[in-house]
Structure 1
Amino acid sequence: MANSKRFHGIFTALVTPMHEDGGIDHPSLVRLVQHQIEHGIHGFYVGGSTGEGFLLTREERKQVLETVIQATGGKARVVAHIGSMSTMESVELAQHAEAAGAEAVSAVVPFYYKVGAREIQKHYETIMAATKLPMIIYHFPGATGVQLSLGFYEEMAKHPQCIGVKFTSLNLFEMEQIRSRCGDDFLIWNGHDEVFAGGALIAADGAVGSTMNMMPSLYTDMYTSIQGGNWDEVRALQSKANAIISHLVNFDVIPYEKYVLYKQGIISTPTARQPLRQFTSEENEQIHRFLQSNEILSRHSKVNNPS
């Protein structure tokens, strides 16, 4: 199995900044990546759910990945999400990721068409056969409607290129069982930010999440405390994160995070692509007031008084 330990840590599931006309805002993307690195982020997960990956064209997905890899300057690891309903498209994106310099690929299970476990396994095997990059399964049953069995993970863990799973589920018992059955070398990324402390205690080697966009240093501090066994501090930091997440869940996640990043002075517009929601001026004002009152979000601002 490829070395999974180099993917331990905190990886931001990057948003994809956009101009008001919906085109990709590459300068804002570069600023976002550099801002994240300044706050200690270990790596990036590019083109996933938070990145509006399924709302981008194939070429846009490639361009966004290239921009991120160039912007890191080798200071952070880059994992490309290449998931698609089409195995052929996933193969093309995986081969591009390898040529562009990504260090691993990840793919959500095929969805919409109801295929079985054997077909899903073949899907991943076909992608892995097309590149030399390690593969990280993306488990997100809340979005895909696909529940993978523990036996599926055991079987996939035997493949030398399949190094782990991005586990976006609140079922921490299932996470622990994956660890128990697949061994300590099988990478497990916690995918729901609000339970990172619990995931880390029970099985997770790190986290990939969307709220890292808004408050990266909180999670890198949490990871440092986890590594040091300072669980009182871990709980305190999780509580601070959850105070923000509890406000976020009253809105739509991606537009909320983009609006916060806009007000923090990191990206140029809060534009999200249709059919995602566009907030009313009243909703924007509610988010703005919360940002100004929250020490964590304010600390990550590049402007003293975002307006």
Structure 2
Amino acid sequence: MKGIFTALMCSFDEKGQVNEKGLREIVRHNLDVSKVDGLYVNGSSGENFLISTEQKKQIFEIVKDEVGDQVKLIAQVGSLNIDEAVELAQFVTDLKYDAISAVTPFYYKFDFAEIKDYYNTILENVDNQMIIYSIPALTGVSMDLQQFGELFENEKIIGVKFTAPDFFLLERIRHAFPDKLIYSGFDEMLLSASVLNIDGAIGSTFNVNGQRAKQIFEFAQDGRIEEAREIQKVTNDLIAEILENGLYQTIKEMLKTQGVDAGFCRKPMKTLQEDKVLKAKLIAEKYLKV
């Protein structure tokens, strides 16, 4: 369960339906070209919070069918609807996903007792292992070292996807819980997290930049920091241009230049205007050498 995991994107058609052919192509690109160690399915990058329960199940099924046992699969099942989260957790466990993950419950100002009960409720109903998905900037939920410790008391909770710039807390978690898995969630901070001895990373830009992510992570592990820093610099140049042009839409357009039917984003995400489509192609030519 260690290494570089792509936060998998999903191909949708113009009506917002899952494009199975395109989704399979995105999966194959990640496995055959980027050669990542695993896939994180139905997270933010998969537009999970914009789709129905049945679409989520459809995506889980297609990805598992395409991947088989080739790489590790983590299924993000978190939802404000606890019944949906449990239903999806059971569904992917039956599909033999290697682990489940769940974003912290958001929007309502849940206290920590409610957050802890949310995770424990999911795990009471499924025989699988859990990766906490902590992303305070989008959920508004920040947890401290003691609270992570309380969650980790549940032996089924094996780690955390840590998408935050708090490297002090990251180091404290690493020191206090050496047996738990820590995945970095900020692609632009991969090197900084890697020197703190994380176990891997989960990122959206790995859909097009997985090879560099693997190099950064592996070089940092080998103590080749200067080489890793140079690759992180190029990676951050790429990320800056992607963000300026539109994150998910640009990654999909870049995948299209690689022959991948990456489709469209679901509304209310906008469709890129022609000038931004052209810019995405130029970014791909610059960084992907197409």
TM-score, normalised relative to structure 1:
0.91
Q: Kindly provide the amino acid, as one letter, of the partner of residue 26 in structure 1.
A: E
Q: Could you tell me the percent identity over the aligned residues? A: 33
| Partner in structure 2 of residue 167 of structure 1 | 162
Structure 1 Cα separation of the partners of residues 104 and 262 of structure 2? 33
Structure 2 Cα separation of the partners of residues 253 and 129 of structure 1? 36
Q: Pick the aligned partner of 1:102 from 97, 109, 119.
A: 97
| Partner in structure 1 of residue 121 of structure 2 | 126
| Alignment root-mean-square deviation, CA | 1.3
Over residues 151-185 of structure 1, what are the superposed CA-to-partner deviations in whole Å (9 max), with x where a residue is unaligned?
1101111211000100111111111121122x211
Q: Kindly provide the amino acid, as one letter, of the partner of residue 274 in structure 1.
A: K
Over residues 101-148 of structure 1, what are the superposed CA-to-partner deviations in whole Å (9 max), with x where a residue is unaligned?
111000001111211000100000010111111101000011111111
Over residues 59-81 of structure 1, what are the superposed CA-to-partner deviations in whole Å (9 max), with x where a residue is unaligned?
11011011111111211010000
Secondary structure at the counterpart of residue 291 of structure 1 = helix
| Partner in structure 2 of residue 81 of structure 1 | 76
Q: Pick the aligned partner of 1:28 from 14, 22, 36.
A: 22
Q: Kindly provide the amino acid, as one letter, of the partner of residue 131 in structure 2.
A: I
TM-score, normalised relative to structure 2:
0.96
Q: CA deviation at 1:221?
A: 2.3
* 1:47 pairs with 2:6: no
Secondary structure at the counterpart of residue 63 of structure 1 = helix
Over residues 241-263 of structure 1, what are the superposed CA-to-partner deviations in whole Å (9 max), with x where a residue is unaligned?
11100111213211111111122
Q: Kindly provide the amino acid, as one letter, of the partner of residue 37 in structure 1.
A: L
For structure 1, the 5+ residue unaligned runs are 1-6, 302-307
Structure 1 Cα separation of the partners of residues 37 and 279 of structure 2? 32
The answer (yes or no) to whether the contact 1:255–1:272 under 8 Å persists in 2 is yes
Q: Kindly provide the amino acid, as one letter, of the partner of residue 138 in structure 2.
A: A
Structure 2 Cα separation of the partners of residues 281 and 224 of structure 1? 38
Structure 1 Cα separation of the partners of residues 94 and 16 of structure 2? 27
The answer (yes or no) to whether the contact 2:208–2:255 under 8 Å persists in 1 is yes
Stretch of structure 1 that moved more, 230-239 or 208-217: 230-239
Matches within 5 A, 1:126-145: 126-145=121-140
Q: Kindly provide the amino acid, as one letter, of the partner of residue 98 in structure 1.
A: T
Q: CA deviation at 1:268?
A: 4.8
* 1:292 pairs with 2:285: yes
Secondary structure at the counterpart of residue 195 of structure 2 = helix
Structure 2 Cα separation of the partners of residues 145 and 281 of structure 1? 35
Structure 2 Cα separation of the partners of residues 112 and 268 of structure 1? 30
Structure 2 Cα separation of the partners of residues 202 and 293 of structure 1? 31
Q: Which runs of 4+ in 1 moved over 4 A?
A: none
Structure 1 Cα separation of the partners of residues 69 and 198 of structure 2? 25
For structure 2, the 5+ residue unaligned runs are none
